Amino acid sequence: MTARIGVVTFPGTLDDRDTQRAVRVAGAEAVPLWHKDKDLKQVDAVVLPGGFSYGDYLRAGAISRFSPVMESVIEQAKAGMPVLGICNGFQVLTETHLLPGAMLRNNHLHFICRDQKLRVESDRTAWTADYTVGQEISVPLKNIDGRYVADERTLDMLEAEGRVAFRYLDMNPNGSLRDIAGVTNEAGNVVGLMPHPEHAVEPLVGTGRTDGLGFFTSILKKLVNA
């Protein structure tokens, strides 16, 4: 049976089609989910893609957090369903408090768009099992609200529990504390990161590499073996 991976579209979402394609390239079935629907259509996992949901009004991800679809996503995520938040999706996950910390305007105040090198810091999440700890990958990054912050105690806790999933390499593009590019929840089923693995799953586009494909093959393997 093919794994069904839901991809949520909010008003203002941009990367839902790329994400659906990445899911299919990895060999799973992509199931479009609409922000107004509570029904998750019996998907096995959910991806919250990048963009500017609800125009990023108030704060990035703040209004989406109260959408009907997120009520179901939050409930299922707490019950163990794998959820990946990319860029705006990561912002939504911090607003829901499924992931700790918060996202703020980049320290240089500019929108940034570049190929970003990352170091994989955890292979113990549902979305990173196909990577190895210490592996360096390159995926596109594009955002203006990408500065990850949390208080010192939370940062220490994340480090101690191995919950920093990705760190920026070579340059910190936005002033994120401790060069954090992505984090996971305690159970490892919820992961958020600012850069865009879904734009690096085919050699023709993005970085010209397929370094992002591992996210989607990881989850597929987990669901098939489950």
Partner 1 sequence: MARVVVDVMLKPEILDPQGQAVQRALPRLGFQGISDVRQGKRFELEVDGPVDDAALARIHELAETFLANTVIEDFVVKVEDAEGAEKVAGYAK
Contact between 195 and 88 under an 8 Å Cβ cutoff? The reply is: no
DSSP string, 2-23: --EEEEEE-TTB-SHHHHHHHH
Alpha-carbon gap, residue 191 to 169, rounded angstroms: 19
CB nearer to partner 1: pick between 1 and 109: 109
Choices 49-57, 80-88, 148-156, 202-210 (CB under 8 A): range interacting with partner 1: 148-156
Q: Which amino acid is at 42?
A: Q
Q: Does 209 bind partner 1 (CB under 8 A)?
A: no
Given the complex with partner 1, which of 34 and 66 has the nearer CB atom? 66
- State the catalytic residue, choosing from 35, 95, 198, 199: 198
H or E element that contains 214: helix 213-225
Residue 192 has φ and ψ, to the nearest 5°, of: -135, 140
Q: Which of 35, 87, 95, 199 does the annotation list as catalytic?
A: 87
CB of 90 to partner 1, least distance (A): 14
Distance (Å, rounded) from C-alpha 77 to C-alpha 75? 6
Q: Which of residues 70-99 bind partner 1 (CB under 8 A)?
A: 94-95
| Binding flag, residue 149, partner 1 (CB under 8 A) | yes
Q: Residue 220 in contact with residue 3, Cβ under 8 Å?
A: yes
Binding status of residue 156 toward partner 1 by CB under 8 A: no
Between 24 and 178, name the residue whose CB sits nearer to partner 1: 178
Q: Is 196 a catalytic residue?
A: yes
Binding flags for partner 1, 161-200, as an x/- string (CB under 8 A)? --------------x-------------------------
Residue 58 near partner 1 by CB under 8 A: yes
Per the CB < 8 A criterion, the answer to whether 18 and 88 are in contact is no
Q: Which of 49, 50, 82, 101 binds partner 1 (CB under 8 A)?
A: 101
Question: What does the block give as tokens for 157?
Answer: 């806790």
Residue with tokens 């998750």: 40
Q: How far is the CB of 204 from partner 1 (least distance, A)?
A: 36
Question: 168 in the Ramachandran plot: left (φ > 0), alpha (ψ -120 to 50) or beta?
Answer: beta
SS3 label, residue 42: coil
**Residue 104 binding partner 1, by CB under 8 A:** yes
Residue with Cβ nearer partner 1 (102 or 112)? 102
- Residues at the contact surface with partner 1, assessed by CB under 8 A: 58-59, 62, 66, 94-95, 100-102, 104-109, 147, 149-151, 175
Catalytic residue positions? 87, 196, 198
